[in-house]
Amino acid sequence: MKILLSFLLTSLTYLPPSYRANITVRCLNEPKSVKLALKQSAAVFVGEVLQVRNGRNYHYLEARFRVESSWKGVEAEEVSVFTESESIAESPHYRVGQKYLVFAGTRDGKLFTGVCSRTKKVEYASGDLQQLGEGQKPKKKQE
């Protein structure tokens, strides 16, 4: 019995960490405050999802937004935000017709949200919106 218990305890230490554990470790470095998230993001805005579709080679999803207010990085009335399809279980679940407060970074010149993004539905973002203050209305027709 001691040998079996010893074997199990030893073998468990060699199992690779789960994907979710890896995400948790990565998210520990993400900003905890709205002010820091705003500073570290390439774009911060509130928008309504107009369309969600698969990107090239199905490696990512593209959500097209109608921008209502912007605090950083977006001046157009419409903008696309991408998220990796492999991380869709943990990334924001964009739904057509829903409004989101989006904190996006950039990758290859495109706006991206991911596993640790502060992005959330507007209905759950009242505290963040209060801290952000009044945003700017979009000025340009397309981005």
Instruction: Give how many domains the chain has, as a whole number.
Output: 1
The answer as to whether 24 is a domain residue is: no
Here the CATH number for the domain that contains residue 99 is 2.40.50.120
116 found inside a domain: yes
Residue 109 lies inside a defined structural domain of this protein: yes
Residue 121's pLDDT is 93
61 phi-psi bin (left φ>0, alpha ψ -120 to 50, beta other)? beta
pLDDT at position 45, please?
A: 97
Q: Would you call 142 exposed, middle or buried from its count of C-beta atoms within 10 A (0-12, 13-18, 19+)?
A: exposed
In a domain, 16, yes or no: no
Which domain range does residue 74 map to? 32-132
pLDDT at 41: 94
The answer to whether position 27 is within a domain reads: no
User: What phi, psi does 87 have (nearest 5°)?
Assistant: -105, 20
Digitized pLDDT (tens) for each residue of the chain, 143 residues in all: 666 545 544 544 444 443 334 444 456 655 578 999 999 999 999 999 999 887 666 578 889 999 999 999 999 999 999 987 655 444 467 889 999 999 999 988 999 988 778 999 999 999 999 999 999 999 866 54
Burial of 4 (0-12, 13-18, 19+ CB in 10 A): exposed
In angstroms, rounded to a whole number, what is the distance separating the alpha carbons of residues 68 and 76? 10
Is residue 37, in this structure, part of any structural domain at all? yes
Residue 72 placed within a domain: yes
